[in-house]
Structure 1
Amino acid sequence: MTAAPSGPRDPERDPQRVPAHAHGFELGCDGPSTLVVGIDGSDTGWRAMYYAVGQARRQRSRVVAVYAERQTPLMATPTMVPIVDGEADEKFRRSLAATVAELGEEFGVATELVVLAADPVVALLQVAEQVRADAIVVGASEQTGHKLFGSVAVRTVKTGHRPVTVVP
């Protein structure tokens, strides 16, 4: 039997130390129970959804898909008219909801769709906090401008407090 070293412990290396923010809810304590995935109808968004559903099936968890609806742009006129095609937007939302539900049924995973009118990163982080998600899954950006200004994936990694998986 070896004696434990005496003297002061390094608090950063102390296995008994529990960070103050870890009290209460513990991310991923028994594997993921809820995954939040960003979807937007793009190929990478659907790949992220399939990845999340596959992981949820294997881990016996649920998937909350988040669609961040665009903010209503305004056309500069004397009366500031919103530029919106409400019928097309509603049709797209129904299509997303149906596909998310079908994927859940096909793979035996509880799924739901949350639609928010917000910046995608804000929407993902807000929903992840509300449902106490263990992780966030997003598709990689295919837009060249995001290399300069930051994609949803990069911004989520930088500003979130949960593991983020980026699906190519």
Structure 2
Amino acid sequence: MKDGPGTILVGIDGSTSSLRAAAYAAGLARRQGSKLVALYVRTHPSALLPLADTGGAVATVIDTQDAVEKELRSMFVERLPEIEVEARLLVRTGEPYAEIIDVAHEVRADAVIVGRSTQALHRIAGSLGSKLVRCGRWPVTVVP
């Protein structure tokens, strides 16, 4: 019989706090013998942005997301064998909160881990971590 979560879901977006969350989740998965699922959510550039785009902003957003995804995939290939954790990286496109909830259901996550938001607006409107906590479906850890 195993003590602790069977599957841990961690949201990663390439930010420093999300990479800390991924490291914390990987360590927890290793210690608890849990499966680790990392989720990178690519966001849609606004539907209006291509109409107003004269400076290549849409291409820049897509290029940045491509670079982050490539780096995350590389990190998984290079570092996971070292920590001996059964893990996989999922990439989805959409709104991060909705995608995390969908994937958590899909993989039957027992715990969700995310990094703390650094955006000032989130202190007013609510961060991803606080929304997940209010959702109340899984234990949520927010890593600073």
TM-score by length of 1: 0.74
Task: Identify the match of residue 118 of structure 2 among 115, 137, 142.
Answer: 142
Change (3 A) 1:142 1:77: closer
Q: What are the ranges of 5 or more consecutive residues in structure 2 without an aligned counterpart? A: none
Asked if 1 retains the 8 angstrom alpha-carbon contact of 2:132 and 2:140, the reply is yes
- Is the helix fraction higher in 1 or 2? 2
Task: Identify the match of residue 66 of structure 1 among 26, 33, 39.
Answer: 39
Task: Output aligned runs, 1:67-146, within 5 Å.
Answer: 67-73=40-46, 74-75=48-49, 77=51, 83-85=58-60, 86-146=62-122
Aligned to 2:26: 53
| Distance apart, 1:101 and its partner CA | 3.2
CA deviation map 1:53-77 (0-9, x unaligned)? 0000001111111111111223263
* Larger RCO (alpha carbons 8 Å, 6+ apart): 2
Q: Residue type matched to 1:102 in 2?
A: E
Aligned to 2:11: 38
**Cα RMSD, aligned residues only:** 2.1
| Distance apart, 1:105 and its partner CA | 1.2
Q: What are the ranges of 5 or more consecutive residues in structure 1 without an aligned counterpart? A: 1-28
2:59 alignment partner, SS class: coil
Tell which structure's C-alpha radius of gyration is larger: 1
CA deviation map 1:19-78 (0-9, x unaligned)? xxxxxxxxxx74211100010111110010000000000011111111111112232639
